[in-house]
């Protein structure tokens, strides 16, 4: 399966000059919702994730995109999914998800940029053992430092630029604001 072609055909790979929520700039942007809006396109990513991960009882995803992926992956696995929700002070798991001490967990997310949401999700999991994280698209440039394996379906590194040192700013290319 050519996952990069799948993204391109779905119109999920955008070129331009983007202002990210982190405040950094980039010349490419992955619009993950072109995949997350379409179960048919998400399916091959989920199937690959299912191949990559070990046996677990729970798939835990950070809202919003990670929760969609967690649910789909849990459906394929026949296990449960839980969602880690953003608050003013990190992420929390609420809604009565009953993750127990002996349970095993995989964290699932859509796009890995800096690893912040994976770390926040890790912090929100108070019981059970995290066996790894699985990502739809890893767009990070540097690998993240966590004490469990991080699996990804597609590696697609995208350079981020500090606004003070952005080659696209220097070329005077108009900037678009994007999430992520």
Q: To 10 degrees, the CA torsion angle through 37, 41, 43, 48?
A: -120
Q: How far is the CB of 18 from Zn ion (least distance, A)?
A: 8
Q: How far is the CB of 102 from Zn ion (least distance, A)?
A: 49
Binding residues for Zn ion, rule: CB under 5 A, are 25, 166, 168-169
Q: How far is the CB of 163 from Zn ion (least distance, A)?
A: 6
Of 50 and 159, the one with the shorter C-beta distance to Zn ion is: 159
Asked whether the beta carbons of 94 and 46 are under 8 A apart, the reply is: no
Of 146 and 169, the one with the shorter C-beta distance to Zn ion is: 169
Q: How far is the CB of 83 from Zn ion (least distance, A)?
A: 34
- DSSP per residue, 61-108: EETTHHHHHHHHHHHHHTSEEEEEEEETTEEEE-TT----TT-EEEEE
Kind of pairing, strands 25-30 and 90-93? Answer: unpaired
Of 27 and 44, the one with the shorter C-beta distance to Zn ion is: 27
Of 25 and 91, the one with the shorter C-beta distance to Zn ion is: 25
């Amino acid at each position: 399966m050519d996952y990069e072609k799948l993204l391109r055909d779905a119109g999920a790979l955008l070129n331009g000059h983007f202002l990210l929520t982190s405040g950094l700039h980039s010349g490419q942007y992955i619009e993950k919702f072109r995949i997350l809006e379409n179960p048919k396109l998400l399916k091959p990513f989920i199937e690959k994730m299912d191949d990559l991960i070990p046996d677990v009882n729970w798939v835990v995803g950070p809202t919003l995109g990670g929760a969609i992926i967690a649910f789909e992956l849990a459906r394929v696995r026949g296990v449960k999914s839980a969602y880690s929700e953003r608050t003013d002070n990190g992420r929390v798991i609420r809604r009565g998800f009953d993750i127990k001490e002996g349970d095993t967990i995989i964290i699932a997310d859509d796009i890995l940029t800096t690893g912040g949401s994976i770390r926040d999700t890790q912090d929100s999991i108070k019981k059970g053992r995290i066996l790894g994280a699985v990502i739809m698209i890893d767009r990070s440039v540097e690998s993240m430092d966590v004490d469990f394996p991080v699996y990804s379906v597609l590696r697609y590194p995208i350079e981020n630029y500090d606004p003070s040192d952005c080659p696209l700013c220097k070329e005077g290319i108009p900037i678009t604001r994007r999430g992520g």
